Amino acid sequence: MSEKPFTGAVFYEYLNEHKLMGSRCKTCGEVHVPPRPGCAACAGSAVEWVEMSGQGALAAYTVIHIAPTAMIEAGYDRNTPYCTGVVALAEGPRISAQILDVDVRHPETIEIGTPLEIAFIERGEGAARRTYLAFRPEK
């Protein structure tokens, strides 16, 4: 298992490889995503990298019409809204991500608890290319 530092930078390195990684406490088993160098549950400092299954459920969501700059550059605006949500991962942690393939024009059709699977979005060119975390309803 990798012994890379448990930092956000390494988390995004893994994301670029299409891996959603977290840290798991060797003492109590608590999983943190993004990773933490120590355990928030038991204050233990022995943690290891663990890859998430990519399965989860929608815990909360909002449809964004006034997009931040990065999302405007990605093609979203007042007329092209997008959904961002909180995903409860099968392993326990919650993480925010863009939610794809939901009807953003009819947000009332988006249901809390919807089973989701991981998706990866590539944005940017060349050195600016980055992978962004997203989820979509399970097929």
42 binds Zn ion per the rule CB under 5 A: yes
When computed from its CA atoms, the radius of gyration of the chain, rounded to whole angstroms, is 16
Residue 120 CB-density burial (10 A; 0-12 exposed, 13-18 middle, 19+ buried): middle
Q: Output the six-digit token pair for 58.
A: 């929608």
21 touching Zn ion, by CB under 5 A: no
Helix (H) or strand (E) holding 95: strand 94-99
Name the segment binding Zn ion (CB under 5 A); options: 17-25, 52-60, 92-100, 129-137: 17-25
Applying CB under 5 A, does 39 fall inside the site for Zn ion? Answer: yes
Choice between 39 and 116, CB closer to Zn ion:
39
- Site of interaction with Zn ion (CB under 5 A): 25, 27-28, 30, 39, 41-42, 44
